[in-house]
Amino acid sequence: MTTEQPQFDDEDAVGLPIAYDSRTGYDSEADVLDAARRVADEVLRPNAEAVDTADGPRKQNFEALAAAGLLGLAVPRKYGGLDVSGTTQRNVTEILASACGATNFIQAQHHGPCRMIAACQSEILKSTLLPRLATGELMCAISFAHLRRMGEPVLAASRVDGGYLLNGTTPWVTGWGIMNQVVFGATLPDDRFIYVWVPADRNDFPHLFENVMPSNGKWGTLMASQPLKLAVMNSTSTVELTCTNLFIPDDYVLSFSDRETMQRNDRNGVLGAAAMPIGCAAGSIAVLCKLAEQRNIPAVKRSADKFTRELTELRNAAYDFKTGVTGTQQDAIDLRAHLIQFAMRAAHAAVAASSGAAIYTSNPAQRLLREAMFYTVQAQTREVMDSILVLLEHNS
Ligand SMILES: Cc1cc2nc3c(=O)[nH]c(=O)nc-3n(C[C@H](O)[C@H](O)[C@H](O)COP(=O)(O)OP(=O)(O)OC[C@H]3O[C@@H](n4cnc5c(N)ncnc54)[C@H](O)[C@@H]3O)c2cc1C
């Protein structure tokens, strides 16, 4: 394997630290949020219904996100990324989700793998991939939610000379096609989890594979299904991926974990998924506010005001939540369920206030209602399912 690597330092030639803005083009994270708002308002929202009914992702949306540096949110600055705080990343997600759920969901999937690659031990992987993931020249998919399933592993990993073999079909991989690589989570024979990086096509990364060969000479296969036909997020190119004796060299193992850690992270991070339903609700409330101006119907104005106040309260509750300080772990789970239901209610209100026009595929209200349905199951854990079902039973 060659050791030639692009050089990125946090210091200039005489050892002085390089300023944030000289590397990123931004003076502060507030400017990053302004850029996200600009892309959302000028590029994403005007095309959201067209994207919703399209067969695949809209290239220009990703060019705009890339041009603003927003595909490098989770990449360290020394590799050309913005490496923003968790708070800024969450706020960017909310802004983009309010404008176009499908585009937001694809870009959101890219950031987790960027962080995982940045945290791995393989210098050649980091220096080869991260600068290109930061600019959006390349994007990376993630396939790990199946690890939450009980019973037989969905994707099994077994040890072989020089690496691991993967076997199985993972059910949900978003962005395939616009993304040419994936981070898989798989289950080892001792039930631990392993996370590995896999290219769609090794020939796209000759630098990474020129001196690597499985000991039996067999690479195995990675096959993608056709994009799944979905009631919402249909344009996200979400596929199933099938691995058959797929060889993963040791160098491309990112990390190891286990079910207990995943369950703990799911519980501690249950509100990490809050930004999408909050963004969706904000999008619906923007529709309500516009209708309140256009239609001069007192009930629509009243509803727009009420939902606006509730959004502020719920956003503060979710973003300021501290387990053990503002509430218990169960309170956090219940708040997530409440946010899902709020996104559904706000979108439903936007449908009601739009009258029959809501049913046109060109109308944002129906799209937002279906996007809220998606957030009902996205990153779903058993506890979140329990909590939302309790909430819905009590409302009946
Ligand atoms: C359009 C779309 C795109 C997606 N894209 C991605 C992606 O790019 N990457 C990715 O990793 N994931 C992705 N997902 C997966 C998503 O994050 C959720 O994990 C998924 O929606 C949950 O649905 P599931 O059928 O896989 O549920 P499951 O994971 O099978 O079940 C949900 C929860 O209930 C629990 N459960 C189920 N049955 C039982 C039982 N009998 N007893 C006890 N507990 C049980 C499970 O353990 C799990 O915690 C996507 C999903 C959708 C719908």
- Do residues 51 and 102 lie in contact, with contact meaning Cβ atoms separated by under 8 Å? yes
Expressed in angstroms and rounded, the spacing between residue 71 Cα and the centre of ligand 1 is: 25
Would the CB of 145 count as within 6 Å of ligand 1?
yes
Q: Which of 136-140, 207-211, 317-321, 329-333 has the lowest mean pLDDT?
A: 207-211
Expressed in angstroms and rounded, the spacing between residue 270 Cα and the centre of ligand 1 is: 14
Expressed in angstroms and rounded, the spacing between residue 266 Cα and the centre of ligand 1 is: 12
Q: What band does 339 get if pLDDT is binned at 50, 70 and 90? A: very high
In the predicted model, what is the mean pLDDT of residues 346-365?
98
Would the CB of 378 count as within 6 Å of ligand 1?
yes
Expressed in angstroms and rounded, the spacing between residue 370 Cα and the centre of ligand 1 is: 18
* Per-residue pLDDT at 129: 98
pTM: 0.94
Token digits for 114?
Answer: 């960027």
* Per-residue pLDDT at 6: 33
Q: Give the residue from 291, 300, 258, 282 showing the smallest Cα distance to 347.
A: 282
Query: Which alpha helices (H) appear in the chain, and where do they start and end?
Result: 20-24, 29-39, 48-52, 59-67, 86-99, 101-118, 123-135, 206-209, 259-268, 275-295, 298-319, 329-354, 364-377, 382-395
* Per-residue pLDDT at 22: 57
Look up the CATH number of the domain holding residue 369.
1.20.140.10
* Per-residue pLDDT at 321: 97
Would the CB of 24 count as within 6 Å of ligand 1?
no
Q: Is the pLDDT of residue 10 over 60?
A: no
Q: What is the pLDDT of residues 80-122, one digit of tens each?
A: 999 999 999 999 999 999 999 999 999 999 999 999 999 999 9
- Do residues 376 and 101 lie in contact, with contact meaning Cβ atoms separated by under 8 Å? no
Neighbours of 283 (CB within 10 A): 29
Expressed in angstroms and rounded, the spacing between residue 174 Cα and the centre of ligand 1 is: 13
Q: Is the pLDDT of residue 20 over 60?
A: no
Query: Are 298 and 344 in the same domain?
Result: yes
Q: What is the pLDDT of residues 171-216, one digit of tens each?
A: 999 999 999 999 999 999 999 999 999 999 999 999 999 989 999 9
Atom index in ligand 1 nearest the CA of residue 382 equals 34
Query: Are 152 and 69 in the same domain?
Result: no
Query: Are 301 and 371 in the same domain?
Result: yes
Would the CB of 143 count as within 6 Å of ligand 1?
yes
- What residue's CA is closest to ligand 1, atom 41? 150
Query: Are 98 and 159 in the same domain?
Result: no
Query: Are 130 and 165 in the same domain?
Result: no
Would the CB of 184 count as within 6 Å of ligand 1?
no
How far apart (Å, rounded) are the C-alpha atoms in residues 319 and 275? Answer: 9
* Per-residue pLDDT at 25: 81
Q: Is the pLDDT of residue 352 over 90?
A: yes
- DSSP letter for 304, please: H
Task: Provide the residue range defining the domain that includes 215.
Answer: 141-258
Q: What is the pLDDT of residues 238-292, one digit of tens each?
A: 999 999 999 999 999 999 999 999 999 999 999 999 999 999 999 999 999 999 9
Query: Are 390 and 269 in the same domain?
Result: yes
Would the CB of 234 count as within 6 Å of ligand 1?
no
The last residue of one of the domains, among 210, 235, 258, is: 258
Q: Which residues contact 375 (CB under 8 A, 6 or more apart)?
A: 273, 276, 277, 280, 340, 343
Would the CB of 142 count as within 6 Å of ligand 1?
yes
Tell which one of 377, 381, 389 to mutate to probe ligand 1, the residue whose CB is within 8 A of the most ligand atoms.
377
Q: Is the pLDDT of residue 39 over 90?
A: yes
Would the CB of 238 count as within 6 Å of ligand 1?
yes
Token digits for 306?
Answer: 């009420």
* Per-residue pLDDT at 313: 98
The last residue of one of the domains, among 85, 101, 135, is: 135
* Per-residue pLDDT at 7: 33
Q: What band does 12 get if pLDDT is binned at 50, 70 and 90? A: very low
* Per-residue pLDDT at 395: 73
How far apart (Å, rounded) are the C-alpha atoms in residues 315 and 118? Answer: 30
Expressed in angstroms and rounded, the spacing between residue 322 Cα and the centre of ligand 1 is: 26
* Per-residue pLDDT at 293: 96
- The tally of domains found in the chain comes to 3
Tell which one of 105, 111, 148, 233 to mutate to probe ligand 1, the residue whose CB is within 8 A of the most ligand atoms.
148
> In which residue are the tokens 């999408």 written?
276
Query: Are 272 and 390 in the same domain?
Result: yes
CA distances from 286 to 102, 108, 262 (A): 18, 22, 36
How high is the mean pLDDT of the chain? 94
The last residue of one of the domains, among 102, 135, 168, is: 135
* Per-residue pLDDT at 5: 33
